């Protein structure tokens, strides 16, 4: 899995187009402030390493959100970080479990609709740690 994390004083998104047939129809527009925005991309090899990937994902999110003293989180599927892709159902299930665990530890989690292209606006802070890329 590859993740690109941004500390964003403000983030806004709106659904644009549905790209997976088996996801529900949604029309969503939402904004967040003082949030860690995580663009994630699950790879084919993650299927075999699911437990490890999930643990590393959660630890990285908690680490960087702690650096900015925020419990606000935005999860966004971003299938442009690798040419290898895990099956969509695997990725959806993995992120659903990560989201549930993070909520149980006090995070407020917003998720852009999985299976959709979204338009978004992001204001990223200037700090060096406000932009972090990780391979899990």
Reported as a single tens digit per residue, the pLDDT across 76-127 is: 988 878 889 999 889 999 999 999 999 999 999 999 998 899 999 999 999 9
Lowest mean pLDDT among 16-30, 46-60, 77-91: 77-91
What is the spatial distance between Cα 115 and Cα 20, in angstroms, rounded to a whole number?
Answer: 5
Q: What is the DSSP string of 14-29?
A: EEEEE--TTSPP---E
Q: Which helix (H) or strand (E) holds 118?
A: strand 116-123
Q: Give the predicted TM-score (pTM) of the model.
A: 0.92
What is the chain's mean pLDDT, rounded? 95
Q: State whether CATH 3.50.80.10 applies to domain 2-135.
A: yes
User: What tens digit of pLDDT does each residue of 113-134 get?
Assistant: 988 999 999 999 999 999 999 9
Among 59, 53, 55, 76, residue whose Cα is nearest residue 6: 76
- Give the residue extent of every domain in the chain: 2-135
């Amino acid at each position: 899995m590859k993740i690109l994390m941004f500390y964003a004083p403000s983030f806004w998104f709106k659904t644009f187009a549905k790209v997976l047939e088996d996801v529900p129809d949604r029309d969503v527009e939402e904004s967040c402030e003082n949030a860690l925005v995580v663009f994630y991309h699950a790879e084919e090899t993650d299927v075999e390493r699911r437990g490890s990937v999930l643990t590393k994902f959660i630890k990285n999110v908690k680490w960087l959100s702690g650096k900015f003293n925020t419990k606000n989180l935005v999860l966004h599927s971003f299938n442009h970080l690798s040419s290898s892709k895990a099956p969509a159902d695997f990725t959806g299930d993995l992120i659903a479990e990560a989201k549930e665990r993070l909520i149980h530890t006090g995070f407020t989690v917003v998720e852009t609709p999985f299976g959709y292209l979204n338009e978004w606006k992001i204001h990223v802070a200037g700090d060096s740690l406000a932009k972090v890329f990780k391979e899990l």
